[in-house]
Chains A and B, each alone.
Chain A
Amino acid sequence: MSPMATHAPEPAATNPEILRNFCIIAHIDHGKSTLADRMLQATGVVTPREMKAQYLDRMDIERERGITIKSQAVRMPWEVDGQAYALNMIDTPGHVDFTYEVSRSLAACEGALLLVDAAQGIEAQTLANLYLAMENELTIIPVLNKIDLPAANPDKYAEELANLIGVEPEDVLRVSGKTGEGVEELLDRIVELIPAPQGKADAPARAMIFDSVYDSYRGVVTYVRVVDGQLSPRQKIKMMSTNAEHDLLEIGVISPEPKPTKGLGVGEVGYLITGVKDVRQSRVGDTVTSSHKSATESLGGYEDPKPMVFSGLFPIDGSDYPLLRDALDKLKLNDAALIYEPETSAALGFGFRCGFLGLLHLEIVRERLEREFNLDLISTAPNVIYDVVDEHGDARRVTNPSEFPDGKIATIREPMVACTIIAPAEFIGAIMELCQSKRGQLGGMDYLSEDRVELRYRLPLAEIVFDFFDQLKSRTKGYASLDWKFDGEEEADLVKVDILLQGEKVDAFSAITHREKAYSYGVMMTGKLRELIPRQQFEVPIQAAIGSRIIARENIRAIRKDVLSKCYGGDISRKRKLLEKQKAGKKRMKMVGRVEVPQEAFIAALSSSDEPKDKAKK
């Protein structure tokens, strides 16, 4: 057993030989944060008293959902055979939406822990990230976690991991983040197996940004991995993608709170503060160099974030629109991938059309807006970007059904994704059925072990942004895991379906669908609305239409009785209060012509489930 390091190596003066940079690849729930906590404790970086569960996940939402959105890097001392080492643990986001951020985190490391739940085995996203790490030529240390669980089956999953990365099952470490078992051995193994970083100490400074976080007190905090040369305090630095120059106000390491240092040298990982206020000025993947003695070549691999999923966000209370704008402006400071522009909907009022990396990104932004800024929002059904060419040959990009041209269409192209699904073999049939119903093409299928398969499908992105993952989960009793990446564009036969209430188009419910699915969308949405919109004093027809052709129709019958039969002396106060309440409720209704539509109907109709939440309600 190794002791804690008695002398922690000094940052800025650390020989790269004693540095070890690694990250942890794991699925949500597989215990990455708990294990990270244990390592912080074992290395003495955090005392038990300071221990906040899941120390690394800073935001509330992350802590509650158990997802790490923003990666951070912690420097930990560790001693093996009397030699002190400095370990940099770089925390990676665990979700498919943040693949690019993951790739940058991986690029900052020489090694990765492949952490898998000993009761569940590897999941699709983990597999995808593992392949990414292997492509980056990282040293992989396979680790089974949660071996303390009664349901743990470490022998089975050790075999699975060993097959995947080509090692012997005995090489798979077994740990418990909960009890701490095996954690010190793991730290020793990191020192032993992961190569020390290599770089040119006397070359012009080059450091890669792998994360960038906005802090309301300090401005943007940029996390970097130095590849060549040295960065020092008060130096002028340059962002190589834009040539923008900044003063280096502070430089340091996280251990686990920020500690200013005399700089960062080859192979070291730490943070920079330049006083900029927007993460767009300090982008993930960019190369930092010194202004004075600039590098000529960047480290490469930089990409602009590309929003792929779009949704309209509208405040339920129209007067909250300025608050929503301010809130988005603030979120943007910390989220380089979030884009938005004002949008007006006849049904929902003023709001914003927002672009996201994926569905989780959308959900996180929406939840942060609601929680941190106290906003009540309606989000329209997510859609993707279409390239539409009309009969006159005019091309346009459509990110909103309302921009869909009315006239004849020559071609429409839609984005495609390559999906990987891992699930127990018994669900193959259910998964194939689902993917076929979503216009998927099977690319291949492999058995990972006797009873677990990996299926590869090519699907239109539009088919997976709505409820694909929920359906996949429900059809596989929660066992399936999914990963996807973009896979070009393809021409498709798509139409716009409009929904009309009493003859008036409700833009919020318009959708672009495959022609073969237009009818089922129309039937589904008119049916949903019939259940969700309360009966009015008059009959309300609900129609679905492609252009002027009606493809589905439902009717809300007129309400016939709405009167309290008794109202005597003792009833008056109660009745007044009831009517006052009803009247206040009416104010929260959106008017579509004369039809009163409750906010809940919009929310429920736009939610992803097929069936209205409360079928019993009439």
Chain B
Amino acid sequence: MSPAQPVGMPAPGDGLIGSESVQAGSGKPFSLYVHVPYCSVRCGYCDFNTYAQDDFGDGVNLNTFADEAIAELDFAHSALQNSGAEITPLHSVFFGGGTPTRIPSTDLVRILHHAVSLFGLSSHAEVTTEANPDSVDEEDIQILAEGGFTRISFGMQSAVPRVLKILDRTHTPDNVPKVVRWAQQAGLQTSVDLIYGAPGETLAEWEQSLRAAVSYHPDHISAYSLIVEEGTKMWARIRRGELDMPDDDAMADMYLLADRILGEAGYQWYEVSNFSTDISTRSTHNLAYWHNVNWWGIGPGAHSHWGGTRWWNVKHPLAYSQRIRQQISPAQACEVLTPNQQHFEDVMLRLRIREGMTVRELQGQNQMSEDQLHQKIQWLEKQGLIEAVEPLNSRVVLTLKGRLLGDAVTRELLPE
């Protein structure tokens, strides 16, 4: 099971956004996320809103998804217009899931085209889809590239069959270099996702996966430590004693290894878990989240944000589809962030990225006194958690040690 959606206020059925948020968000970059909740298998560690079934009955299945997404796009467009929001051409589009490539590639393209027809597309926009190495062939990739996609992110996770099995991944490791090469040949940017710290995974096995990933020469590599969320199958197995909970110290060693091997191969970190060959190959879409700009999340369970208002859709595909058909907002609830909460999120997200935050930004709207902030910065610097900082206007950036203790640094730099 994926975790319950956050508790929020009731979301308006017409999808209108409050005037303060409309104003705050107007003119800022606008991104689109499309959540495809279909998967062939549900992995033991997965806590996303995904379903290993293709048909939910009542005419809701993976072939009707494109029409539902298109209907929500129309709804989004009119809701934003009726709210008086100033919409800029799409800055990035990201299809995630689930496994977006479980639905026909032509459907993905159809959704993209409809979005572009409504909102437009900025000239350097990034359009990404996630893909399972086993669920795309050369033809699919060709269709996506010709349809306007610029980037594919492959869920590689590991190069070691034993580790893949623990993670319930069904793909053949040998397929990864093949699909990456096809994508590269089609002129797409490529990314591979890796997961470390699976129960029982050794440092040597992790090194093997890292070396394999860099040998395919993708533009971008994400390396996530496994998070075992309560309620997942893996969590239950750990609780029953069938698997060992991954150890934080071992995870730390794995992260250090990743930073070294990826660095040697020419990949630089630009976010705690993300590495790229250079600035141009960073993920525009993910950076949009960390800069907390505007995005609309299409699909069951997807989250959206505009100028300090967040909302999230109902999770179940059937409930989602019913709302969409009745042309009422699929949002389950929403929250309007206070200035303090916005500052909180700012610090929490921006510290994750390589540019960090300026001291002035950290101060917020006087959420913390200068003296207090400087004391904290000095202390964190002394602990080796942030880079050397000169007072005022300079930036606070996590060191390698600091990246591993990012949440502790964030808590320290948040106002009391």
Contacts and interface: CB of A to CB of B under 8 A. Distances in A.
A561 B289 contact: no
A566 B224 contact: yes
A568 B297 CA distance: 12
A537 B312 CA distance: 35
Contacts of B225: 561, 565
Nearest to A573: B6
Contact of A562 (B3, B305, B348, B408): B408
B400 to A, nearest CB: 11
A466 to B, nearest CB: 35
A567 B352 contact: yes
A563 B407 CA distance: 5
B345 A562 contact: no
B100 interface: no
Given A560-B252, A576-B341, A569 B407 contact: no
A583 interface: yes
Given A564-B407, A566-B227, A569-B305, A537 B289 contact: no
A574 B3 contact: yes
Interface of A: 537-538, 559-570, 572-577, 579-580, 582-583, 586-587, 594
B163 to A, nearest CB: 16
Contacts of B82: none
A582 B407 contact: yes
Interface in B335-349: 335, 341, 344-345, 348-349
B310 A572 contact: yes
Interface of B: 3, 6, 8, 33, 224-225, 227, 248-249, 251-252, 255, 272-273, 286, 289-290, 292, 295, 297, 301-305, 310, 312, 335, 341, 344-345, 348-349, 352, 379, 383, 385, 403-408, 410-411, 414, 416
B352 A577 contact: no
B348 A563 contact: no
Contact of A572 (B303, B405, B406): B303
A208 to B, nearest CB: 60
A326 B286 CA distance: 56
B348 A575 contact: yes
Nearest to B6: A573
B349 A572 contact: yes
B289 A563 contact: no
B344 A576 contact: yes
Contacts of A537: 383, 385, 405, 408
Contact of A570 (B255, B292, B303, B411): B303
A572 B404 contact: no
B249 A560 contact: yes
A563 B403 contact: yes
A562 B6 contact: no
A579 B348 CA distance: 9
The interface centre, meaning the residue of A537, A561, A575, A582 with most chain B CB atoms within 10 A of its CB, is A561
Contacts of A572: 289, 292, 303, 305, 310, 345, 348-349
B252 A561 contact: yes
B227 A563 contact: no
The interface centre, meaning the residue of B3, B286, B379, B408 with most chain A CB atoms within 10 A of its CB, is B408
A537 B349 CA distance: 21
Contacts of B379: 594
A564 B414 contact: no
The interface centre, meaning the residue of A566, A568, A569 with most chain B CB atoms within 10 A of its CB, is A569
The interface centre, meaning the residue of A570, A583, A586 with most chain B CB atoms within 10 A of its CB, is A570
A580 B349 contact: no
14 contacts: A538-B383, A560-B248, A560-B405, A561-B225, A561-B404, A564-B227, A567-B289, A567-B349, A568-B286, A569-B302, A569-B305, A570-B297, A572-B349, A583-B411
Contact of B272 (A563, A570, A574): A563
Nearest to B401: A560
Given A561-B225, A570-B301, A570-B302, 7 more contacts: A560-B249, A561-B252, A562-B408, A566-B227, A566-B273, A567-B289, A587-B416
B344 A563 contact: no
B308 to A, nearest CB: 12
A539 to B, nearest CB: 11
A583 B273 CA distance: 23
Contacts of A566: 224, 227, 273
B30 to A, nearest CB: 13
Contacts of B292: 572
B227 A561 contact: no
Contact of B310 (A567, A573, A587): A573
Nearest to A557: B249
A572 B293 CA distance: 12
B414 A579 contact: yes
Contacts of B404: 560-563
Query: Top 9 A-B pairs ranked by shortest CB distance?
Result: A563-B406, A560-B252, A570-B303, A561-B252, A565-B225, A561-B248, A565-B224, A573-B6, A562-B408
Nearest to B305: A569
Contacts of A577: 6
A573 B255 CA distance: 25
Contacts of B410: 579
Nearest to A580: B344
Nearest to B49: A570
A574 B6 contact: yes
B348 A561 contact: no
Contacts of B348: 567, 572, 575-576, 579
B224 A570 contact: no
B239 to A, nearest CB: 13
Contacts of B406: 562-564
A567 B406 CA distance: 12
A559 B248 contact: yes
Contacts of A573: 6, 8, 303, 310, 312, 335
A561 B255 contact: yes
Contacts of A561: 225, 248-249, 251-252, 255, 404-405
A587 B414 CA distance: 13
A579 B255 CA distance: 22
Contacts of B255: 561
Given A570-B302, A573-B6, A582-B411, A565 B405 contact: no
Nearest to A563: B406
Contacts of B385: 537
B50 to A, nearest CB: 12
Contacts of A569: 33, 289, 295, 297, 302-305
The interface centre, meaning the residue of A566, A567, A574, A587 with most chain B CB atoms within 10 A of its CB, is A567
Contacts of B302: 569-570
Nearest to A594: B379
A24 B251 CA distance: 66
Nearest to A538: B383
A583 B341 CA distance: 13
A579 B249 CA distance: 21
